């Protein structure tokens, strides 16, 4: 028989030579997950597109909803809060919506990361796939939605007369930082949630508190001095500010804001990555 049949071997090696799997020679989990993620990159794309398609397929308005949703939400919030902060904040609609969109991106993708891993729970006990695809594709889908929502955001900026400048070209930087931060938080939550499903509910409570502790609907100046220190410890504050500056003020993000945001995003992502990948094999054994 032809022992070395000329079947093209895949270029990636899993613990040994190509097409040989050796459980005793696997690279460390945090590295292997990265290799496998590259190999399964098309799956991530498929999951992102599935998410976006199914989100709108059953709604009458379809993708238009992506535009309408932030507009309506903003209309409601602006109506209420522009009276509270009357005169304090110029272009309140833009001030609010810019931060609100970032927050929704963060809150939704972290929550969905947990849920989709729980959804994939039955799957990952039967077939091998890099388990981080679930969190990653949710953050990817959120990023696509955020990008789409930039259209109504800029429209409102324009209409309300907020400055529109070249600083807008900075936007991909804070967006990427928020994505890293969300992925890190999503991975941490997923690790915990697979053992303890009640974390999903507890997180919703925590999110609400976090939302109000972050200057999204109010200006930082509205905080009493005794609470200002809290902002220095709140990574969401830096990330929101970094995104808001180009849209609302027409200025590049403050260097210190960017540095603090980067440290938070990279730190949390590293934490989530190492923890999740080291626990991922146990996750598959649990169900």
Partner 1 sequence: MQALRHPSEPPLTVLEPAAFPEAVRIDNVSFRYRHHHERFTSLKEYAIRRIQGRVRRSDVWALRDVDVAVRQGEVFGIVGANGAGKSTLLRLIAGVLRPTRGRVVVHGWPVSPLLEIGAGFHPDLSGRENVYLNATLLGHTKRDVDERLDSIVDFAELGDVMDEPLRTYSSGMIVRLGFSVATEWEPKVLLVDEVLAVGDEAFQKKCWARIQGFRQQLATVVLVSHQLSYVLATCSRAVWLDRGVVRALGEPNAVVNAYRDAAAG
43 binds partner 1 (CB under 8 A): yes
Nearer to partner 1, 132 or 262 (CB): 132
Q: Residue-wise over 4-13: b if at least 16 C-beta within 10 A, else e? A: eeeeeeeeee
269 binds partner 1 (CB under 8 A): no
Dist. CA 143–CA 113, nearest whole Å: 13
6 binds partner 1 (CB under 8 A): no
Q: Give how many residues touch partner 1 by CB under 8 A.
A: 44
> How many CB atoms neighbour CB 23 within 10 A?
7
Q: Contacting partner 1 (CB under 8 A), which of 161, 172, 197, 219?
A: 197
Q: Which stretch binds partner 1 (CB under 8 A): 43-51, 150-158, 240-248, 262-270?
A: 43-51
Dist. CA 130–CA 24, nearest whole Å: 18
Q: Contacting partner 1 (CB under 8 A), which of 151, 176, 202, 263?
A: 202
128 binds partner 1 (CB under 8 A): yes
Q: Which stretch binds partner 1 (CB under 8 A): 45-53, 81-89, 143-151, 268-276?
A: 45-53
Q: Which stretch binds partner 1 (CB under 8 A): 98-106, 239-247, 253-261, 279-287?
A: 279-287
**Would you call 168 helix, strand, or coil by DSSP?**
helix
Nearer to partner 1, 234 or 278 (CB): 278
Dist. CA 63–CA 66, nearest whole Å: 6
- Minimum CB separation of residue 268 from partner 1 in Å reads 20
113 binds partner 1 (CB under 8 A): no
Dist. CA 248–CA 157, nearest whole Å: 8
Q: How many Cα neighbours within 13 Å face the side chain of 272?
A: 25
Say which residues have a Cβ less than 8 Å from residue 279's Cβ, sequence separation at least 6. Answer: 191
- Residue (of 94, 108, 110) closest to 146 by Cα position: 108
- Minimum CB separation of residue 281 from partner 1 in Å reads 5
Nearer to partner 1, 90 or 125 (CB): 125
58 binds partner 1 (CB under 8 A): yes
**Would you call 57 helix, strand, or coil by DSSP?**
helix
- Minimum CB separation of residue 203 from partner 1 in Å reads 10
166 binds partner 1 (CB under 8 A): no
Dist. CA 193–CA 120, nearest whole Å: 13
Give me 101's structure tokens.
Answer: 């969109």
32 binds partner 1 (CB under 8 A): no
Contacts to partner 1 from residues 223-242, by CB under 8 A: none
Q: Residue-wise over 26-39: b if at least 16 C-beta within 10 A, else e? A: eeebeebbbebbee
282 binds partner 1 (CB under 8 A): yes
Dist. CA 239–CA 242, nearest whole Å: 5
235 touches 103 (CB < 8 A) = no
Kindly list the residues in this chain that would bind partner 1 in the complex (CB under 8 A): 1, 3, 5, 7, 14, 16, 19-24, 26, 39-40, 42-43, 45-47, 49-50, 53-54, 57-58, 123-129, 192, 195-199, 202, 281-282, 284-285
């Amino acid at each position: 028989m032809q022992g070395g049949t000329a079947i093209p071997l895949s270029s990636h090696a899993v613990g040994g030579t190509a097409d040989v799997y050796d459980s005793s020679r696997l690279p460390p989990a945090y590295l292997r997950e990265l290799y496998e993620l590259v190999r399964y990159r098309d799956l991530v794309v498929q999951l992102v597109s599935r998410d976006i398609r199914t989100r709108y397929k059953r709604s009458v308005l379809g993708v238009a909803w992506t535009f309408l949703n932030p507009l309506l939400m903003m209309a409601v919030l602006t109506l209420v809060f522009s009276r509270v902060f009357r005169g304090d904040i110029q272009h309140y609609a833009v001030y609010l919506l810019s931060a609100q969109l970032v927050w929704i991106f963060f809150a939704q993708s972290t929550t969905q990361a947990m849920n989709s891993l729980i959804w994939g729970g039955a799957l990952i006990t039967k077939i091998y796939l890099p388990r981080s695809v679930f969190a990653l594709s949710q953050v990817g889908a959120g990023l696509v939605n955020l990008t789409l929502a930039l259209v109504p955001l800029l429209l409102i900026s324009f209409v309300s007369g907020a400055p529109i400048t070249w600083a807008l070209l900075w936007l991909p930087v804070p967006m990427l930082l928020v994505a890293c931060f969300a992925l890190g938080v999503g991975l941490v939550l997923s690790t915990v949630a697979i053992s303890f499903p009640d974390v999903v509910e507890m997180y919703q409570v925590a999110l609400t508190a976090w939302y109000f502790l972050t200057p999204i609907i109010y200006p930082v100046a509205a905080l009493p001095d005794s609470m200002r220190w809290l902002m220095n410890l709140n990574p969401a504050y830096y990330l929101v500010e970094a995104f808001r500056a180009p849209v609302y003020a027409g200025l590049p993000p403050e260097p210190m804001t960017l540095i603090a945001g980067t440290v938070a995003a990279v730190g949390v992502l590293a934490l989530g990555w190492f923890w999740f990948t080291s626990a991922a094999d146990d996750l598959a054994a649990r169900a």
